Amino acid sequence: MSPVIEELLQLLDLECLEQGIYRGQSRNIVGKNVFGGQVLGQSLMAAGRTVEGRSVHSLHAYFLRAGDIHAPIVYWVDRLRDGKSFSTRQVRAIQHGQPIFTMMASFVVEEDGLDHQEPMPEVQAPEGLPNETELRARIAHLLPEKIRESFARERPIEIRPIDPINPFAPQAQEPCRFHWMRAQAELPDDRLLHQSMLAFASDFALMGTAMLPHGVSFMQPNIQAASLDHAMWFHRDFRMDDWLLYQMDSPSSSGGRGINRGKIFSRQGVLVATVAQEGLMRLREVGEKY
């Protein structure tokens, strides 16, 4: 198995400290702070371990503080309700005695019902597209040496963008983009694991969609950006070790914030999840302290 997948599986395999209390570790995935997708995935895993016979159908989360990658994170799960059909859990992620993240998640008993979905858009297939690791390697020389290795590091989720942009030379364009994604190796048949890994992967690239019409990117020194919240709805079964299409768009940005939406389809065209996130995106003077 790929070492980066083994590392992600270890991150999602939380240590149980007490009933409803778990501890997770962190890794440097995208920068100096804990990657938001890591906290999403670990929180969903913590909540899911307190539920039996039900699968998550939605989560709503807020990022409260930047996470410290050098310290463990404690996840405290409150069992708010267990009804006939639904179970509700609240998760608090704590570091250094303070909450850095909070999430509500709802789990449901499977049942049949009315069924419809939007069709998957027609886009280029993943075969033949360069992956994100290859694309980053082409421009890594433009970065200072101290962060070059982190930027070019392989990630556990393989991402193949359609019409990729150069983050060092962004140009204004429509706030819509697509990428294919999948885990770097075959995964166990564990539904909660696949759902937690999709929560992890759903945070890649989403927030930058609102920056597209403004011709700016995370790589610019005058951009202050951070995820503020994150919501997901899980519609149908899927596998993270098979290709998924992530369709992202941004209907609005104002007041230093941008809203982003995502739809995730299986290779077979099945809509498996919907995502929404608001992000902070402030323009600053170069050298101004945040």
**CATH code of 42's domain:** 2.40.160.210
Picking from 43, 166, 147, the residue whose alpha carbon sits closest to that of residue 93 is 43
Q: Which residues are catalytic?
A: 203, 227, 277
Does 58 map to a domain?
Answer: yes
Q: Which of 72-81, 83-92, 171-180, 220-229 has the lowest mean pLDDT?
A: 220-229
Does 227 map to a domain?
Answer: yes
pLDDT-based confidence at residue 130 (cuts at 50, 70, 90): very high
What are the backbone angles phi and psi of residue 40, rounded to the nearest 5°? Answer: -60, -50
Mean pLDDT score, 173-180: 97
Does 160 map to a domain?
Answer: yes
Measured over the CA atoms of residue 238, residue 88, residue 105 and residue 97, the dihedral's sign is negative
Q: Strands of the chain (E only): list them.
A: 15-18, 21-24, 55-63, 73-82, 86-95, 98-108, 157-162, 176-183, 223-227, 229-234, 244-254, 257-266, 271-283
The pLDDT tens digits of the residues spanning 134-165 come to: 888 787 776 656 666 666 678 899 999 999 98
pLDDT of residue 88: 98
> What domain count does the chain have?
1
Provide the residue type at 193 as one letter. Answer: L
The pLDDT tens digits of the residues spanning 36-95 come to: 999 999 999 999 999 999 999 999 999 999 999 999 999 999 999 999 999 999 999 999
Does 118 map to a domain?
Answer: no
Q: Which two tokens stand for residue 36?
A: 């938001």
The pLDDT tens digits of the residues spanning 268-277 come to: 999 999 999 9
Which residues are within 8 A (CB) of 268 and not within 5 positions of it... i.e. 6 or more apart?
A: none
pLDDT of residue 287: 61
Which residues are within 8 A (CB) of 115 and not within 5 positions of it... i.e. 6 or more apart?
A: none
pLDDT of residue 286: 65
Q: Which two tokens stand for residue 222?
A: 């005058």
**Burial, 57: exposed, middle or buried (Cβ in 10 Å; 0-12, 13-18, 19+)?**
middle
Does 197 map to a domain?
Answer: yes
Does 288 map to a domain?
Answer: no
**Burial, 283: exposed, middle or buried (Cβ in 10 Å; 0-12, 13-18, 19+)?**
exposed
Does 231 map to a domain?
Answer: yes
The pLDDT tens digits of the residues spanning 24-47 come to: 999 888 778 999 999 999 999 999
What are the backbone angles phi and psi of residue 7, rounded to the nearest 5°? Answer: -65, -45
CB 185 within 8 A of CB 197: no
Domain containing 203 equals 3-109+131-283
pLDDT of residue 145: 63
pLDDT-based confidence at residue 176 (cuts at 50, 70, 90): very high
Picking from 8, 52, 4, the residue whose alpha carbon sits closest to that of residue 192 is 52
Q: 3-class DSSP state for residue 180?
A: strand
What are the backbone angles phi and psi of residue 33, rounded to the nearest 5°? Answer: -105, 165
Does 250 map to a domain?
Answer: yes
CB 45 within 8 A of CB 192: yes
pLDDT of residue 169: 82
pLDDT of residue 283: 87
Of all residues in the chain, the percent with pLDDT exceeding 70 is 94
The mean of the pLDDT values for the chain is: 93
Q: 3-class DSSP state for residue 143?
A: coil
- In angstroms, the first-to-last Cα distance of the chain is 41
